[in-house]
Structure 1
Amino acid sequence: MDERADVIVVGLGPGGRHVAGALARAGLDVVGVEAEPVGGGFGTAGRVRRQAAHHGDDRPTTDDLAAWGVRLVRGTGRLAGPRRVAVDRSAFAARRGVVLATGARPRTADVAGLAATPYWTPRDVTAGRELPASLLVVGGGGTGVEIAQRFACAGSAVTVIEAGERLLAREEPEAGRLAASALRADGVDVLTGARVGRVEHDGVGFLAHVAGEPTVLAGERLLVATGRVVDLAGLGVDTVGLDPSAVAVPTDGRMRAGAGLWAVGDITGRGGGARMVSYQAEIAVRDVLGRPGPDADHRALPRVILPEPEIGAVGLTEQQARGLGLNVRTALASIASPGRCEAAGGEGFVKLIEDADRGVLVGATAAGPAGGGVLYGLQVAVHAEVPVARLQHMIHGDAAVHHAVEVALQALRRPARD
């Protein structure tokens, strides 16, 4: 016979823990299901040292859940029909519903020989305490860039291998060029347009063979940072009418994925890191409790990449905006910015993306010593659809990055290119 609860939360990473704790504190009978350490990862290399200090010891977090009244069930949860979850040989039924917060797992690169080697994923990096003499990083997205610079500044010889033509492929081209320049200034070898075809490990180090070239790269450790994927088939979503081959669980504005079913975090395919997880979790909690509030609004999704110079972005990139058929007007202003290591240096910038027909910003990128910090003002402008004409007449701060925002806004006065 199924064990019953008001709500079952599958996955107790940051999002699941938030949901389970909030619902339990509100008086609901909550079961939380997790096979791995509760609390999950911190997500980026910027949190490496914090997570390393507590890796494998989730007692503080589980103690919190117990104090809130959450019943912790250890094991892998799988949907077994509407409002039902199977955990190994046990089964649970939810009176109100199920919240999916299982996150995503590191994507495994399609590289010959890789599976037989002790390669690292970003999670392994956060767990480790060793500093390798040399590190090969496969993947030049945000996580790969952050980790590469951190290890380079700590003294490792680092090489980044990116299959695409530039780093940070999901961001503005200027951001990718800036990241590559900053990494090279910090001593990192950056290879773009290069795909690793085969990997070997001799018990001491790695050899990475670049596909179609005679180039062979050597490193003591190899990190695969090629993104994250969601395993919906393993979660049993087909038992509730969802597509197990989909890349994410579709949700509405209240984070509902179906009757008595909610989803938050990476599993929704929205990205955005810890802040997005908390945002979605709070909306799901409110809906489960039947409390009113606005629907989720993902238009002004913030993204912060933490190399130096720091890169913050919000909303659409220029390419995305043009792909949606918008009448796009852009402006770019440069700003001097130091690198992370003492000898590093580089150029920061502010780039604004305007929907010229409506006269509002739909995207922005700020890169510099406070790129993530200045992002908040740009995020408010995108989210609230503040008219560009009004932004152009506001008083800006004295910081160089604020001045760059002002310069870029004034540049938007020129006629649209399209």
Structure 2
Amino acid sequence: MSDAETTGTARTYDVVVIGAGPVGENVADRTRAAGLSTVVVESGLVGGECSYWACEPSKALLRPVLARADARGIPGLREAVSGPLDVQAVLAHRDSMSSHWDDSPQVAWLESVSVDLIRGHGRLDGPKRVTVTTPEGDTIALTARHAVAVTTGTAAAVPDLPGLATTRHWTSREATSAARVPGRLAIVGGGVVAVEMATAWQALGSQVTVLVREDGLLHRMEPFAGQLVTDALREAGADVRFGVSATEVKRADGDDGEVTLFLDDGSTLVADEVLFAIGRTPQTGDIGLESVGLVPGQWLQVDDACQVEAVPGGWLYAVGDVNGRALLTHQGKYQARMAGTAIGARAAGEPADDAAWGRHVATADTSAVPQVVFTHPEVASVGLTTMEAQRSGRRIDVVDYDLAHLAGSHQYTEGYRGTARMLVDADRGTVVGVTFAGPGVAELLHSATIAIVSEVPVERLWHAVPAFPTISEVWLRLLETYRG
């Protein structure tokens, strides 16, 4: 055990973290680096959703799909990849990337940085107090000298549909960990999880049908991105339907029969599995929020240091997805680094108005959130979309460029299709939003993120010379288009 005070089943630490996903791990790492004794409470696997049911397994499923799609556009290589994917090899790779759902390496890492782990369900029990119910039924009372950090993340949202509560169905967890390929897969939703899983399972052999309530995929991103993904899914054989919702679900013969979805247009859809990918909900329903005057089940509203605003004293932090600011693992880890450093600074007596305090706030959550959708084609975005920029009242110049015109795109794959959009603040002359959609664009995103975060004047970007022939030459073409 690290430097904690222990009396029977009561223990005192400087910091108590509820949740051992990547966000909780990073908070703990930073507070330990500040010399604070830290314990993490976790009821599931150390490493959390990202390691076992989200980022790692989903990208392991998608990487062979995207690599094959790119290879099929390369002369001399397309013939070698004309056959189907080796499904068992892909699933085995997925299992390996998920550590076969064994968290012992993550536990070893916590031990290596002297962070204690208590397995069990943690609940707030008043200011700076957490009660843990262990799997054995024992109770451990924890007290924090300085801070409690809630990093419990989110769970898949499920609609209140007739029949669904008693019908076996998939959420993102089942979609990323399934041991076999369903013959027919229905997907309800049109966001990131929906399109990524449609891309993966269609390529692995499912006949995929996507039911989208909105009039396009990825409706929170630039419309051209969703259209390119729609076109690619349909070309791959998927059935993508817009403006339709499920109203009822039934599965024949218990859990093993086919599932029927009744749709609001009066039709039905029969599938072997159905995935609901309609969003996320905060895992705050049973963590004792009522003991500190908060409402169970709510998102936890925080300031830029991730301190919960409605709780006095500055001791309660909510970090990562649970605060609803940016539901992405990399943003949660970024918040964790900021919050962990802030906790250490406060514990050391650093005044909140100190000039250095700006280092401890998660400002990127509102100005430069990067996101990649690992479909074919890839979609990568950071900063504002056109609609968001217009709503903000800014004067915005919208600059589009067809990625197919780049020499680097032709080198990447034949028949390249893609679009780049750059948004320029017309008054300040800086980039405030970028979206790329096309094969291989994910690695362009960090340059866009740096441009936005650093507020680099567009005129200065002329001196950041892209290598030829690469897709990154799009930066030069966007500037040329902007100059006109």
TM-score w.r.t. the length of structure 1 is 0.90
Give the Cα separation in 2 of the matches to 1:272 and 1:402. Answer: 27
Give the Cα separation in 2 of the matches to 1:304 and 1:320. Answer: 18
1:5-404 maps to which residues of 2 (within 5 A)? 5-24=13-32, 27-42=35-50, 43-44=54-55, 45-48=58-61, 52-53=95-96, 54-88=99-133, 89-202=139-252, 203-214=256-267, 216-244=268-296, 246=298, 248-257=299-308, 259-290=314-345, 292=356, 293-298=359-364, 299-336=367-404, 347-392=417-462, 394-399=464-469, 401-404=471-474
Query: Could you say what secondary structure the match of 2:229 adopts?
Result: helix
- Cα deviation, residue 283, structure 1: 1.1
Q: Which moved more, 1:398-407 or 1:37-46?
A: 398-407
Cα gap change, 1:210/1:165 in structure 2, threshold over 3 Å: closer, same or farther?
same
Give the Cα separation in 2 of the matches to 1:130 and 1:296. Answer: 41
Give the Cα separation in 2 of the matches to 1:47 and 1:17. Answer: 22
- Cα deviation, residue 237, structure 1: 2.8
- Cα deviation, residue 28, structure 1: 2.9
Larger Rg: 2
Q: Which moved more, 1:24-33 or 1:129-138?
A: 24-33
- Cα deviation, residue 377, structure 1: 1.2
Give the Cα separation in 2 of the matches to 1:55 and 1:195. Answer: 35
Question: Counterpart amino acid of 2:362?
Answer: A
Give the Cα separation in 2 of the matches to 1:224 and 1:253. Answer: 32
CA offsets per residue over residues 206-250 of structure 1, 9 Å max, x none?
A: 111211322x2221111111111114343333433445464x322
Query: Could you say what secondary structure the match of 1:352 adopts?
Result: strand
Higher strand share: 1
Cα gap change, 1:344/1:185 in structure 2, threshold over 3 Å: closer, same or farther?
farther
Give the Cα separation in 1 of the matches to 2:378 and 2:279. Answer: 20
Task: Name the count of aligned residue pairs.
Answer: 409
- Cα deviation, residue 22, structure 1: 4.1
- Cα deviation, residue 11, structure 1: 0.5
Query: Could you say what secondary structure the match of 1:23 adopts?
Result: helix
Query: Could you say what secondary structure the match of 1:412 adopts?
Result: helix
Q: Which moved more, 1:68-77 or 1:311-320?
A: 68-77
Q: Which moved more, 1:343-352 or 1:368-377?
A: 343-352
Question: Counterpart amino acid of 1:213?
Answer: G
Query: Could you say what secondary structure the match of 1:158 adopts?
Result: strand
TM-score w.r.t. the length of structure 2 is 0.79
- Cα deviation, residue 87, structure 1: 1.9
Give the Cα separation in 1 of the matches to 2:94 and 2:205. Answer: 20
Query: Could you say what secondary structure the match of 1:226 adopts?
Result: coil
| Structure 2: gaps of 5 or more residues | 1-8, 62-90, 134-138, 349-355, 406-412
Give the Cα separation in 2 of the matches to 1:344 and 1:87. Answer: 57
CA offsets per residue over residues 362-394 of structure 1, 9 Å max, x none?
A: 111012222111111111111111112332464
Higher helix share: 2
Aligned residue number for residue 340 of structure 1: none
Question: Counterpart amino acid of 2:279?
Answer: G
| Structure 1: gaps of 5 or more residues | 338-342
Question: Counterpart amino acid of 2:334?
Answer: Y
Cα gap change, 1:51/1:255 in structure 2, threshold over 3 Å: closer, same or farther?
farther
Cα gap change, 1:245/1:102 in structure 2, threshold over 3 Å: closer, same or farther?
closer
How big is the alpha-carbon RMSD for the aligned residues of Structure 1 and Structure 2? 2.5
Question: Counterpart amino acid of 1:249?
Answer: L
Cα gap change, 1:381/1:4 in structure 2, threshold over 3 Å: closer, same or farther?
same
Cα gap change, 1:30/1:153 in structure 2, threshold over 3 Å: closer, same or farther?
same
